[in-house]
Structure 1
């Protein structure tokens, strides 16, 4: 039995190597069972066993009238050849975004902070009444909680599947994993699929620079420039090496921290490059529903026909971060692998949170709430831009975001941002310096107009102007 196992594993490894090296690209027909048996000096039954295993892993499939074809060469391949060290390696945890200056003898914490740094919606946008109704409805039919199945509460996965279909992304409930927020999704991907020494390509600046998930798992971040349409394709094409030794992480909708919305043409260009380079993609799409002017272009995942995209969604930015509910959608063998990793980590996300999220989506309340959120964000964006035009037009530059709640404020004057950060904190303003998102000095600030009130945003910007002018 042991010898037979080694033989069919040898066949599987041979085929995986041919796929990962690009010798057998997606859409190519693999050699016949007879040819493989001759080539590898094994009997036909060993070849049949190996091919069945590879079909179960999602790498190949039989196509009527064509034979056995290669159907995936990125995430599914990584899931079929997971890192050998992941069983013992702990999941890496995010380091916190540098907070406003800590209280010292010289710097006392202000009595009240105007939060221009918070990446979440204001408390008055939180749907308190509707949340109470949802909780009361659930309380009437509540049964004892047990552990959910590894992928998460099935009615929630079904609701998310239906919701994504409305967005144009056809994903089955079995291809969805519920996670405790987008950050846990990234942790699972880093620990369960990626190998040490991999390169993570990403926008520069990017939210990912404020975490250390991938670096602590032994991977390198490689920043790429952006323009008004999003991540630039040419530098990616130049830098990306063929094969699954690297991945692309991108936030295409209302990017954090710049607020840029990637155009549909740019999405297609990036997908073409990634298909050519066999580069798997993480699409972090947690801001998608915060559009203000018009719905964003289709998801990368919906435009991708090769299974190259793992999609991350979340309710943290749209409903409340307190639910701690996000999801990953991708090829089923990949989701199976990540579900096993999650089971080892926490035995599943909160049952109560999953019940609440499922009720929100399936009842239609979520879409009603999103309409209200968009109206609120539009008011806040209008007010924020008016304030910036009035007080900052001679000191800084910025772009008008088409959604989300972030503005990347590029300071024109040469200001010592660390000093400005401290002075702002003393004056009661919380800011996020641009360096958090680049790992190097940059003359920029990430402003949020989603949390502070319209009045407080104006007060904060007036004080910020005074601080900048003090130094010049």
Structure 2
């Protein structure tokens, strides 16, 4: 929500509106002592004024003793309307905020996360299906059906709503996985699956081997739990298993994470042979595998190879799936398939964290599977992604032929774009943002060499994709000429 959407007295001069707004935030305890207030630029943008108006407001608040500018920290709250009158000061929330176990996201990742909700931006980065592809009528129909048949419901059993796990057991057979409902855990999206694994199966100091670059580097799921990420190189067939080398101390304290289908961010599809090699390396070293397969149903050209889990006869693989990429992230429904003792352990941890995923969402998800609507929806999604992929590759050929190189993905959401001129990617990101275009730079995925962008063709409209790529090409040429 922007500041101007919140309650302000619009009859007052703008600088007084800003003062009242900040005082209200401070007085209500929303911005406690030690909080950094929004930048002058942000306030000017949200109140539709120039920065001199903001400076006038801030100077008055400083004179009142409520805020002060601090070197390297911006402008912070130093008092509130209560502490100015009272002897006891408020707790130092800033100290608490910086002391939490969960590490904060990198500043650029936080900025991207906030900007992804800005509908005024051209979203060239967003890993989500477009609203144009969202099955609104089918979702209304299914939700209506569920609501008509609904009875009183409370917490589900620890592993999740049984009819959904039964439906998933049937669905998983279509991709070669034999899993009974008792070996399936319903989670609130694939990210929660990783959090549960980090809490329930690994100890501090453990090593997480993973593809590099990887989406996991933009998060701090494992690092916040005191674990180390060790990146492994990839080629056009996926992760290179011969680079897995464990020390004696790592045995029993390591796990391998991989995203074999339409890898995020590179779009690489792991070959069938490579999947066999990875499982063989895992079995030889007794290294468990997390197979994150949330993009597999988004194939465009042909069915991808069966999951690694299908050839796992010894329980090495924890298989993670989700409806967030294929149907709706708002449902918050995912699943983990694994050995029953592991699923029992993770289900106990889940009960301790949230006492189960949404009962309503689980019922809706079950209806999508059992009605046959999910497979019909996937066919429509693949058709739309094929159109979008063709459109974007054509736009890239027209506008970026001499500025970048790329490989056409066989499915998923992303094109991994390597920018050829030696330019500042941070400057490109900032310049694009001022032009109303949001980018995801390769650096947030630990791409250490070369200049890369993860370009999504799944979310923005075709018109915005065309405009965004054209504007991007102009910015690259401009930066390269300096």
TM-score bracket relative to the smaller structure: 0.7 to 0.9
Cα deviation 1:414-441 (Å, max 9, x = unaligned): 1100011010001110100111100757
SS in structure 2 at match of 1:213: coil
- What TM-score, normalized by structure 1, do the two folds share? 0.77
With over 3 angstroms needed to count, the CA separation of the structure-2 counterparts of 1:193 and 1:91, relative to structure 1, is: farther
Match of residue 461, structure 1, among 465, 469, 474:
469
Instruction: Indicate yes or no: 2:108 matched with 1:95.
Output: no
Of the candidates 360, 369, 382, which is equivalent to residue 377 of structure 2? 369
Is there any run of 5+ residues in structure 2 with no aligned partner, and where?
1-99
Greater shift, 377-386 or 238-247, is seen at: 238-247
**Pairing partner for 1:187 from 191, 195, 198:** 195
Measured in 1, the distance between the counterparts of 2:250 and 2:312 equals 18
Q: CA deviation at 1:99?
A: 2.6
Q: Could you say if the C-alpha distance between residues 140 and 111 of structure 1 is closer, same or farther in structure 2, counting changes exceeding 3 Å?
A: closer
Aligned to 1:62: none
Query: Match for residue 171 of structure 2?
Result: 163
> TM-score when scaled to structure 2?
0.76
**1:316 is the counterpart of 2:324:** yes
Q: 1:136 to 1:240 in 2, by over 3 A?
A: farther
Aligned mate of 2:158, from 147, 150, 153: 150
Aligned ranges 1:116-131 → 2 under 5 Å: 116-131=124-139
Q: How big is each residue's C-alpha offset from its partner over 1:186-213, in whole Å with a ceiling of 9 and x where there is no partner?
A: 0000001101111100011000001101
Write out per-residue CA displacement over residues 66-93 of structure 1, whole angstroms, 9 at most, x where no aligned residue.
Answer: xxxxxxxxxxxxxxxxxxxxxxxx9958
Quick one: distance in 1 between partners of 2:320 and 2:113?
32
CA distance in 2, matches of 1:179, 1:110: 28
1:101: how far off?
10
* Contact preservation (8 Å) 1:151, 1:177: yes
Aligned counterparts of 2:113 and 2:298: Cα–Cα separation in 1: 30
Which of 215, 219, 227 is the matching residue for 2:235?
227
Whole-angstrom CA distance in 1 between matches of 2:410 and 2:248: 30
**Alpha-carbon separation, structure 2, partners of 1:441 and 1:319:** 34
Which residue is 1:72 aligned to? none
Asked if the contact 2:101/2:224 (under 8 Å) is kept, the reply is: no
- 8 Å contact 1:101–1:425 — kept in the other structure? no
Higher relative contact order (CA 8 A, sep 6+): 1
**Residue 413 of structure 2 corresponds to residue 405 of structure 1:** yes
Q: CA deviation at 1:471?
A: 1.1
Cα RMSD after superposing both structures: 2.0
Following TM superposition, by how much is the alpha carbon of 1:269 offset from its aligned partner in structure 2, in angstroms? 0.5
Q: Gaps (5+ residues) in structure 1?
A: 1-89, 104-108
Runs of 4+ in 1 over 2 A off after TM superposition: 90-103, 109-112, 237-243, 439-442
CA distance, structure 2, for counterparts of residue 441 and residue 428 of structure 1? 27
- Structure 1 residues 195 and 111: CA distance shift in structure 2, 3 A: closer
Q: How do 1:22-41 residues align onto structure 2 when only pairs under 5 Å count? A: none
Q: Cα distance, 1:95 vs. partner?
A: 3.3
Aligned length in residues = 378
* Displacement after TM superposition at 1:303 (Å): 1.2
Secondary structure at the residue paired with 1:424?
helix
1:265 to 2:273 alignment: yes
CA distance in 2, matches of 1:101, 1:126: 21
Indicate whether 1:114 and 2:122 are aligned: yes
Alignment of 1:16-55 (within 5 A): none
1:280 maps onto 2:283 in alignment: no
- Decide which of 297, 303, 316 is 1:289's aligned counterpart: 297
Aligned to 1:38: none
